[in-house]
Amino acid sequence: MTTRPTITEGLKSAWVEILGVDDVSGDSNFFHLGGDSLSALRLLAGLRSSGHAIPQLVDVLATPIFEDQVKLFEQQADPPPRPSPDRATPA
């Protein structure tokens, strides 16, 4: 049985492949490593096809630091619970 890589592993692998770099660290900047909006789209498409929940493109572009992107993807995978609507109780 094959397991899905963790968000950190999947994102790191995608950065390495898409940006053509040897490695990334927590403070690596997507744009400083050669990323742009098209490579961000490729990043999201690749992670989606791997089964990861993905954030919006605009959020990824606004979050270029690797460790911050990991947090962004983790939030997407495990969103906070939505408050239940108030229901009037019968009198």
pLDDT by residue (tens digit) across 57-90? 999 999 999 999 999 988 887 655 666 666 555 5
Residue 59, in any domain of the structure: yes
Residue 88, in any domain of the structure: no
Q: Give the residue-averaged pLDDT of 24-53.
A: 92
Give the pLDDT confidence score for residue 33 in this predicted structure: 97
Please name every residue paired with 73 in a beta bridge, in sequence order, or none if there are none: none
Residue 25, in any domain of the structure: yes
CA distances from 22 to 4, 12, 19, 62 (A): 22, 10, 9, 24
Q: Domains in the chain: how many in total? A: 1
Residue 55, in any domain of the structure: yes
Query: What is the maximal distance between C-alpha atoms in the chain?
Result: 66
Type of residue numbered 82: R
Residue 45, in any domain of the structure: yes
Q: What is the pTM of this model?
A: 0.77
Q: What range does the domain containing 39 cover?
A: 7-77
CATH code for the domain of 45? 1.10.1200.10
As a whole number of angstroms, the distance between CA 53 and CA 76 comes to 6
